[in-house]
Amino acid sequence: MRAAVVACVVVCLAATVLAQEAPKKRVLLAWEKTGFKQALVEEMERLLTQQGCEVTKALHSKRGLEAKAADFDAVFITNSGVHSKVRPWITEWLAANKAQAARILLHTTQTGDWKVIADVDAVTSASSKDDVKAVAADYAARIGKILAPAPTGAK
């Protein structure tokens, strides 16, 4: 009888500890179909998965992006800067998800010298496959900062 009670207590304590484990952070990686962007997203997925994140990947096109920022702890979108502008369907998606702007990182490939205008954190790079690992590491680190809890006592 005593052994059964001890076993029950141990099982209950183990269940409590497991229940207190932090859930995995959910990250959306969205890209349009190009070789560079696919390689970038695949490398970021590898890095973020190593950090314990649950990664969802989604293609976007002129039909839009079928995801909601509120369903994720962080969102990374890579798109092509055509005619010195962010893709219009991405601009529309950002407007529809503006309440979650703090958790979105927008990447735009560009060849010319122009500034991305967006209400989210925006970064740019060339689209050289030789740079994929370095660019992915930089952006995965930025996503890590989005996922990091605010310091205690921060205002």
Domain that holds residue 53: 21-147
Average confidence (pLDDT) over 38-49: 97
Whether residue 6 lies inside any domain: the answer is no
Task: Give the chain's mean pLDDT.
Answer: 83
Domain of 27, CATH number, reads 3.40.50.360
Whether residue 88 lies inside any domain: the answer is yes
Whether residue 16 lies inside any domain: the answer is no
Give helix 35-50 / helix 132-147 axis angle, nearest 10°: 50
Whether residue 7 lies inside any domain: the answer is no
Tens digits of per-residue pLDDT, 2-28?
Answer: 654 444 444 444 444 444 567 889 999
Q: How far apart are CA 99 and CA 101, in angstroms?
A: 6
Whether residue 11 lies inside any domain: the answer is no
State the Rg of the chain over Cα: 20
Cα 72 to chain center, whole Å?
A: 8
- Provide the domain count of the chain: 1
